[in-house]
Amino acid sequence: MNVLVGHTNRIPEVMTHRPLPGRENKPDQILAFGNGYAHVRHTPGMPWKTLLSCCPAGWSPDVYIHWSPEYNAVPEGLERAACLTVGVFGDWNLGGRAIHAVGELFDVLVADRNGTQLLRQKGFPHVLYAPLWAFDPQMHRRIPCERDLDIVMIGSFNHAVQWERARWLARVAKLSRYYRVVVTSGVYGEEYVRLLNRAKIVFNRSIRGELNMRTFEATACGALLFYERENPEIRDLFVDREECVLYGEEDLEDLLAYYLAPVNAAERERIAQAGWIKVQSHTYAHHFSALLDQIEPFVEAKRNGAMPPRRFTERPPEEQRLCRAHQWYLSCNHETYERMEQELRTGTDSVDAAHFRGVLLAERACHLPATPTRYTLFENAHQELLRALAADPDYTMARHNLGWLLYHMGRTNEGDAELRNVVQQLESPRLTSRQLRGPCFPREFDTCDVLIEQVWNHFCPGTDAWKDALRQVLLGQIYLKWTQACFQQADFEAAIRHAKQAVTCWPGNGAAQYHLARALRAAGRPEEALVAYQQAVAASPFLLEAWQEQIQLLIDLQRPGQAIEQLGDILAILDGSPYYAGARPAFDHLHATALQSQQRAKREPPITRWIAFADWSLPEDWQALLRGFAETSVPGDAPMLLLRIDPEHCLNGLQVLEQIRSFLTQSRELSETVLPRVTLICQPVAPQDQWKLYRLASAVIVTPRATGYHPDLARNAGVPVWTLQDMRQRHAA
């Protein structure tokens, strides 16, 4: 069988044109490109006819296998290929839009167990299950090495994508209190192999319920594999407690403790050895060979004309072009963007074509340095999106993309105006699914992108359920953007409103809860902020900014004991996660600060503090304040008066203190030994930290011309506000 394959995993047998295991007697000729293969010259998205012309003379494929259409641009004109075409969706969870765009371009689709179920539910007629991951025996192997690490996990730390696994990783990392734990990312090659060989146990958790590559690599390196019990594929390969260990929510820690106990070392090693033996027949070569065995009958059916026409060819030509444009855009391969943008200028200049051209131009511009070319691309993208909206003002997705484009161009006010229109359309009961068609800019593989892919996977595109789910994702994205903008502008109440809307749209999202927490904190609502911080770190335990701000808030609220308790958790996570070693000094500093605060609270009796905001440009204002305070002050049992001086007024603190001393000793004829206790607060205080001034005080004293006073912060802090008359009356009483 002649096989042309693009972007598959690196398989030594394919690289060197050796027979695949189990197909030694088959006359296979396999040519590959992409991902390190160089059998065929290839550029992303090149025309199918051109790709064929790059193959050896007289050679033509019986089957073309395109690996990961969710990442790799499909060849132009593939729908007209005479051979069988196969699309392999490895990360189908991140490929919902790509499946919809080009799934019907292929005769056969391949995925893991859950992926095949999803593809069949979407109506694809020919779907095959295959384990898509494996190991390379030349790389992943046992090497002489002491297994000095108890638990190891090496994988992606893109927690926007791996949000569910992040909670499990934090749970494992906390076990660094008892074991030698390494939960990390960014380790490759021989260093990766050595780390797996040092592991007694490799913790693993899949993202789609699949057998991921770590399943095979860890066992090939001789470690005991821990895998989630609910995985639908794991028992196809391993037997629990004989070749791996399957864990669940209720018994993970107990199982780890059991297999790490010295008395059970022999049992652990026996299971790891059995897993190593089992996995030897599960290399990439074995799995690719098994996939070809499954494909072969379809090749014969295609050759005999028994395969139905590809449904992609039934779409109108303009729709075919737009579907391919969408898939190319999602591939994030910028080599294809310019060619597709030019192609969309031919034929009918539709509203959708203008929209796609604008998005492609914008995405190209985003990845260029600040040059005239970047500016020109942005302007051209702007004009294309305006052209689309001039023809269809209710095209919500085009207006959404225009708003975000204006942000990228630095035209924030215009971007806000466009997104306000978008929110109005999204919240309208008259919104239609057609208004949400097309690509979504920008393409960043962030939380929004991941949620959009889930919508396209879980709902039938174009239905009301799909529309409503996508509406919520886009609204959450906009509200979160507005939360951050209002926070930067020190409009904290508006930031809270937008953040609460973002949390409603994205329930369980740690980033949304984090931005709500910091807005509440800045608005002087620390108790509510603490709840939101807790929810943020529960949902996103590696969101270190949330941990840091939560602990600092507890210290600011003079709750060092609670701060130390929280620090115990995050320090354990950091101890088990060397990937975040750079964050450790900041948390060590917080720990030292919390301990000092705790010790100080034990030593020092509580002091009554009054804070006042005077108009320092009018001597009579601050002098009246001091006069009233001095009259109510009792030597040996007086409160402390905190006077706020905004450093932006450029007042010299020492000179002000001298003026205060002079006023009290000369005008009020007070002895130096009985002067009331007055402290100046003249340090710069960021807008989001103004609330701290009020938490310091037992009461706020305001003068008729008080400057810098924030009544809402005083109310939120529950601090009474007194005038000079109130202070005198309390003293008289």
Q: What is the per-residue pLDDT for 635?
A: 59
- Indicate the CATH number of 609-732 among 3.30.1150, 3.10.450, 3.40.50, 3.30.70: 3.40.50
Distance, CA of 245 to CA of 236 (rounded, Å): 14
Residue 570: name the closest of 537, 593, 602 by CA: 537
| Token digits of residue 10 | 């690196």
Query: CB within 8 A of 547, min separation 6: which ones?
Result: 537, 566, 570, 587
Contact at 8 Å (CB) between 356 and 328?
no
Q: DSSP letter at 184?
A: E
Query: CB within 8 A of 71, min separation 6: which ones?
Result: 7, 91, 331, 332
Residue 280: phi and psi, rounded to 5, are -60, -25
Query: CB within 8 A of 648, min separation 6: which ones?
Result: none
| Token digits of residue 620 | 């009579």
Q: What is the per-residue pLDDT for 681?
A: 87
Q: What order of strands is seen across the sheet that includes strand 678-681?
A: 678-681, 640-644, 609-613, 699-702, 721-722
Query: CB within 8 A of 718, min separation 6: which ones?
Result: none
Taking the domain 322-443, which CATH number applies? 1.25.40
Q: Where are the domains of the chain?
A: 2-134+286-314, 149-277, 322-443, 609-732
Query: CB within 8 A of 181, min separation 6: which ones?
Result: 149, 150, 151, 152, 172, 173, 175, 575, 576
Taking the domain 2-134+286-314, which CATH number applies? 3.40.50
Distance, CA of 435 to CA of 393 (rounded, Å): 10
Q: What is the per-residue pLDDT for 637?
A: 58
209-264 residue pLDDT tens: 999 999 999 999 999 999 999 999 999 999 999 999 999 999 999 999 999 999 99
Distance, CA of 498 to CA of 488 (rounded, Å): 13
- Give how far Cα 444 sits from Cα of 73, 161, 363, 440, Å: 17, 11, 10, 10
What angle in degrees, to the nearest 10, is found between the helix axes of 464-488 and 447-458?
170
Under-70 pLDDT residues of the chain: 347, 604-606, 633-638, 649-651, 668-674, 730-733
395-423 residue pLDDT tens: 999 999 999 999 999 999 999 999 999 99
Q: What is the per-residue pLDDT for 660?
A: 84
Residue 578: phi and psi, rounded to 5, are -60, -20
Contact at 8 Å (CB) between 651 and 616?
yes
Element housing 213 (H / E): helix 213-220
Which residues, listed in sequence order, are joined to residue 6 by a DSSP beta bridge? 33, 66
Q: What is the 3-state secondary structure (H, E, C) of 250-280?
A: CCHHHHHHHHHCHHHHHHHHHHHHHHHHHHC
- Give how far Cα 653 sits from Cα of 642, 646, 682, Å: 13, 10, 7
Element housing 627 (H / E): helix 619-632
Distance, CA of 272 to CA of 634 (rounded, Å): 77
CA of residue 216 relative to chain centroid, distance: 27
Contact at 8 Å (CB) between 147 and 197?
yes
Which residues, listed in sequence order, are joined to residue 224 by a DSSP beta bridge? 201
Name the CATH superfamily for 149-277. Answer: Glycogen Phosphorylase B; (3.40.50.2000)
| 149-277 and 609-732 agree in CATH topology | yes
